[in-house]
Structure 1
Amino acid sequence: MSAGIPFAAQDLRRLAEISGILIAHGFGDLVRQLGADKLVGGIRKVTHREPASPDHGLAPEERLRLALEELGPTFVKLGQILSTRADLLPSAYIAELGRLRDKVRTLDWEDLIVEVEAELGISLIDAFDALDTTPLAAGSIAQVHRARLKTGEEVVLKIRRPGIVPVIEADLRLIGRLASLAEAEGLGRFRPIEIATEFSRSLRSELDLANECRNAERVATSFADTPYIRIPAVYWQWSCENMNVQDHVTGVPGSDLAAVRAAGLDLTVLARRGADAVLKMIFADRFYHADPHPGNVFYGPGNGISFIDFGMVGQLTRQRRDEVVDLLFGVVEKRADKVAEILLSWARTDDGDPVRLTAEVERFIDRVHGVPLGQLHLSRMISDLVAVMREHRLALPYDLTMLIKAFISLEGMGRELDPDFDMVSAAQPFLEDLVWQRSGPGTLLRRAREGVSDGFGLMTELPRDLRKLLDVAQTGRLKLHIELDQGERYLKRFDRLMARLTMGVVIAALIIGSSIVMAASGNELSIGVSVFALLGFFGAVTGGIWLLWAIWRDR
């Protein structure tokens, strides 16, 4: 790392802190392997704590979780993302990282409002009719307080923790450099740079609290005609990067099932409505709440559901959404070849073995089809399929890990409300509707019309494009550029091979030539001929030594 991955001076202090925490939790070998100990001046200088012993009673995955929690919000959120990566990590790590929670202390009101009051140029106490300085909730990025506008609306203020941006930015730079190192060390199949880039983008978006408001309004527009789904209204005059202000949601927290039952709400209806809402976001809108856990949901009168906290959202392209649909239908229709083809396309690698993967997928499908529909867990089915990818050293794209996280949270919440909740049945209408949209007469007619239009445009523009090509060729400006993937590296290797082959031929010629001279001249050689023969043998020995050394150096 120290040789090829430069570090900014301001990041070295944070690197020393991270290294010290990892060493204290028994990951000193990892710190040494990455070269971090050399960068920050040695193991003894980065920590004053006693390093953990591998046999001190905790499993490696437990020590990793504790280390990530101590490292702070950036690494907690990274661990939460990795807890969905069954394609990369063993099940023990997945289960342990799933327990990651932000452990943060609340800030005093005077310390919390420094940055937001500087950005807005006002005193928050004076701006609201009433304001509770006691936190309603606290997270790693922001702290929440209740307030009342001068116009009477009850609202919540979500205020970003001051000074958190430089710390997170330093962490993201370090994660980016570690990803580059992992890529250089031959771990490209895990897509470390892609994971680091997408994680950085997601976390930076979450740091801008105004983004959460834009996400909430986009979802609210989609459910404008659904009265039992409520998204808090945003008050833009008070919202900025450091703070957002939204309606205070009343109702029963989704995490308090006893209170939900006491309120007389229908848990079965709530499970179905909540699943329908999130599945609509995923399959119809392709823009969804990526963290629909009970803490982000409130239940109200008439079995209404309120979603809050749109800081983490996922977005699917139309193509990716269709691939997910094809994958699920491939499992239902026992099309192992189709499922394997989609998995390989997601992995974007030529190293996979399609035949072996298809056989493994076929065994997986046989297991799934042997389970009664009511006992089939969609999230578990997807996780098992992703585990098949891990066994075949195939990695998922980042956007699909967000989707899997949403599926797992959604199905878990649905089964807490209703033990008989069937995620597969809930998703089936959306999947069938999408298949019909893609294969219905209207879609086929539209595609045919677009094909005819594109073909007609190509025919009409072809003469003009040919004339342009001929004009370029006649003026001598036509250039043909062919780029072969990794061609330069292979040409260099071929050049070294030919050089060594040539050297071998020269050495053989020197040995044979010198031997012929000595044999033809008998025992009595003139001084000139003797020198010539000796030089030939000396050159052959020298060249042979060089050739052997070159081959050994390149292993």
Structure 2
Amino acid sequence: MDRASGVWATRAWGWLRAAPVSIVGPMSVLDVLFAARDLGRLQEIASTFARHGLGDVVQRMGLSGPLERAGRALHWSGADQLREMPTHERVRRALEQLGPTFVKFGQLLATRPDLLSPDWITEFERLHQAVTPVPFAELLPQLEEDLGADPRELFEGFDETPLAAGSIGQVHSARLSDGRRVVLKIRRPGIRAKVEADLRLLERFAELTEQELPELRRYRPVQMVRLFSRTLREELDLSLEARNTELIGRNLADDEFVEVPEVIDEFTRERLLVLAFVDGVSAGEWAHEHEPGTGEGPLLAARGADAILKMIFVDGIYHADPHPGNVFFQPQARLVLLDCGMVGRLSERRREEFMNLLVAVFKRDERRVVAVLLDWAGDEEEVDTELLAQDARAFIDRYHGAKLGDVDLQAVLGDVVDMVRENGLILPADMSSLIRVFALLDNLGRELDPDFDLTSKIQPMAERAIREQHSLLNVLGRQTEDLAGLVRELPRDLRQLFDKARRGKLRLEVRVNRLPEFGDRITESANRVTVGMITAALIVGTSIAMTVDKGPMLLGIPVLGLLGFLTSCAVGAGLLWSILRSGRR
């Protein structure tokens, strides 16, 4: 059996298509799932899926009947033309039509190769939404509320035509009173209410999935949707993006070649972000106009990689979406990082684990590789650790004898993801984000410089981090800190333990892995003994009955006694055959 068949998308889709007609039980789906305020949005979601040839999933979820009874008819037209498309393409098109929440959720899933198979990943990477800019007349009331005045009075030369429009907001240009050019990122009016309704639906669907589909619980849909909800809510808060931009700017203050735009705090709000205007050419446009390896390409690739890697391994907070549209180039090989709405955070412990994984690969330490992967996956009871160790050995053998600077980091991380997915493990969200950033960084670097080698950039940082991690001073410091933490927390832990014991809630759980199998064997043996005893009694009884000269006779033998004796022999032969077969197994 293909071990990769446990991929989340394949299993999830199979369960939804094969689930009972309603997976929520006797109560109405609308009563259990959704408040009345979300009924209209629920109808829109269900109709969109139905129009894309996914009506069977809507019906299996039990949504079509209650919606129609509530007076919300579903629109099924157009499904026939789309049925010939692959399922993942129809899902992608449906997500695009459903708006920013579902587009961004699909984009999140596209960063999880540990959950989705490659065809779903490729399809979801194509997710985008054609956005029509909001007319300035509709933006004006919100801007006046946030700024306390008409923006055309506060800014000189405010351009009512947007420079760009996205699913969350759009960008306009203007000038401050001192003549400096600025850009205003304005959140789309009313988008928070729609996003919150979508998130409520997604969160309830995730809870329902964990309750009713045990096979999917291990993929932690509730945890995944909660993480997505938090990320999207943070992205809606433009004041948080302003703080992230300022923090990354302070961390890069010593780098004379990389910067982020200045935040104009005076005008920045939750729904409005004002930044200093940055002139330059996007990395995508620059790569389109220049041959790889020419001009300042290699220098730009090196400086960009150094900046991102410093954020990851030194600062612990990094730009999580460095695609070519978010990186601008300026003269003298200078770079500007735009759109700090998506940031990743990597704890010191996670950085150490990542370094340990790289070291374990090149030192052929399969035990450490398995330990890191299991630690990332959390409490996974169904993992076959022996099979995981075999895969780890095969993974390590592929890089045996290679030096850190001589391998393709994307290939190494891709193999790690494959091993995680095939063994039913799940990467933590911060590691999935990190792997995606490495892929973006490596791809952009190769567009600028065909000889770009991300691994050689990581090598000195990794070696320095490993030396610091294993230095005597740091080891003693960590041990002292751990011991101090243990001493601090011990009284609280003991108090909680005694409180549970006093309330009768203290449980001791003992698991013997092979005990159920042992019990089955005992039961099987007892059944055989019972059948054997009954068979022996039948043989003895029928033998006595065959000596009685009464009743129908066959060849001088009583018929009833003969039949009983033959039946007993057949049962005994069957029991003997069963014992012989179990012995061969």
Could you say which TM-score interval applies, normalised by the shorter chain? 0.7 to 0.9
Kept in 1: contact 2:406–2:455 (CA 8 A): no
2:137 match: secondary structure: helix
Question: How far apart, CA to CA, are the structure 1 residues paired with 2:324 and 2:248?
Answer: 18
Is the 2:282–2:329 contact (alpha carbons within 8 Å) kept by the matching residues of 1?
yes
1:340 aligned onto 2:366: no
Q: Kindly provide the CA deviation profile for residues 269-319 of structure 1, in whole angstroms up to 9, marking residues without a partner as x.
A: 111111111111111111111101000000112211100101111112222
Shift of 1:119: 2.4
SS at match of 2:129: coil
In structure 2, give the amino acid aligned to 1:238. Answer: F
Q: Is the 8 A contact 2:68 2:74 kept in 1?
A: no
Residues 485 and 189 of structure 1: CA distance in aligned 2, closer, same or farther (over 3 Å) = farther
- Matching residue of 2:151: 124
- Paired residue for 1:296? 326
1:421 to 433, 438, 452: 452
Paired position in structure 2 for 1:282: 312
Q: Distance in 2 between matches of 1:85 and 1:262?
A: 29
* One-letter amino acid of the counterpart of residue 254, structure 1: A
Matched ranges for 1:115-514 at <5 A:
115-184=142-211, 185-186=213-214, 187-256=216-285, 257-259=287-289, 265-348=295-378, 349-369=380-400, 376-447=407-478, 450=481, 479=502, 481-484=504-507
Q: State the alpha-carbon separation in 1 of the partners of residues 500 and 326 from structure 2.
A: 62
Distance change >3 Å, CA 452–CA 136, structure 1 → 2: closer
Q: Which amino acid aligns with 1:74?
A: T
Q: Deviations over 1:487-521 (max 9, x none)?
A: 9xxxxxxxxxxxxxxxxxxxxxxxxxxxxxxxxxx
The alignment partner of 1:407 has SS state of helix
Secondary structure of the 1:75 match is helix
Structure 1 match to 2:84: 57
User: Which range is displaced more, 25-34 or 296-305?
Assistant: 25-34
* Counterpart Cα distance in 2 of 1:363 and 1:452: 38
Residue aligning to 2:546: none
What is the alpha-carbon distance in structure 1 between the residues aligned to residue 508 and residue 420 of structure 2? Answer: 26
| Code of the aligned partner of 2:274 | V
Does 194-203 or 263-272 show the bigger shift?
263-272
Contact 1:220–1:230 (8 Å) recurs in 2: yes
TM-aligned CA deviation for residue 481 of structure 1:
4.8
Consecutive unaligned residues in structure 2, runs of 5 or more: 1-23, 511-585
DSSP-derived class of the 2:284 partner: coil
Which residue of structure 2 lines up, in the alignment, with residue 540 of structure 1? none
C-alpha distance in 2 between matches for 1:32 and 1:43? 15
SS of equivalent to 1:156: strand
- Counterpart of 2:283, as a letter, is G
Paired position in structure 1 for 2:38 = 11
Normalised TM-score (structure 2): 0.75
Cα separation, 2, equivalents of 1:262 and 1:104: 32
Shift of 1:5: 3.6
Q: Please, which runs of 5 or more residues in structure 1 have no aligned partner?
A: 488-555
AA in 2 matched with 1:223: L
Deviations 1:192-238 (A, max 9, x none): 11111110000000001111110001101111111101110001111
CA offsets 1:47-105 (integer angstroms, 9 cap, x no match) = 33425249743211111111111111001111111001111111100111111112211
Amino acid at match of 1:232: P
Is the contact made by 2:52 and 2:82 (CA closer than 8 Å) also made in structure 1?
Answer: no
Give secondary structure in 2 for the equivalent of 1:419. Answer: coil
Structure 2 partner of 1:549: none
Task: Please state how far the C-alpha of 1:189 moved relative to its aligned partner.
Answer: 0.7
Contact 2:292–2:447 (Cα < 8 Å) also in 1: no
Deviation, 1:365, is 2.7
Q: 1:159 to 1:429 in 2, by over 3 A?
A: same
Q: CA, structure 1 residues 217+139, in 2 after alignment: closer, same or farther (shift >3 Å)? A: same
| Structure 2 CA distance for aligned equivalents of residues 303 and 275 of structure 1 | 13
Structure 1 Cα separation of the partners of residues 81 and 385 of structure 2: 39
Letter in 2 for 1:416: E
> Could you say what secondary structure the match of 1:255 adopts?
helix
Report the secondary structure of 1:484's partner residue.
coil
State the alpha-carbon separation in 2 of the partners of residues 409 and 268 from structure 1.
Answer: 16
Q: Does 1:41 align with 2:71?
A: no
2:52 touches 2:90 (CA, 8 Å); kept in 1? Answer: yes
Give me the whole-angstrom Cα distance separating, in 1, the residues matched to 2:467 and 2:306: 18
One-letter amino acid matched to 1:40: L
**Counterpart in 1 of 2:517?**
none
Cα distance in 2 for partners of 1:229, 1:306 equals 6
In structure 2, the partner of 1:72 is: 99
CA distance in 2, matches of 1:16, 1:132: 38
Assess if the C-alpha contact under 8 Å between 1:5 and 1:177 holds in 2.
Answer: no
Q: Give the structure 2 partner of residue 505 of structure 1.
A: none
CA distance in 2, matches of 1:60, 1:262: 37
Paired with 2:91 and 2:55, the residues of 1 have a C-alpha distance of 12
Shift of 1:387: 2.2
The amino acid that maps onto 1:278 is I
Distance change >3 Å, CA 448–CA 170, structure 1 → 2: closer
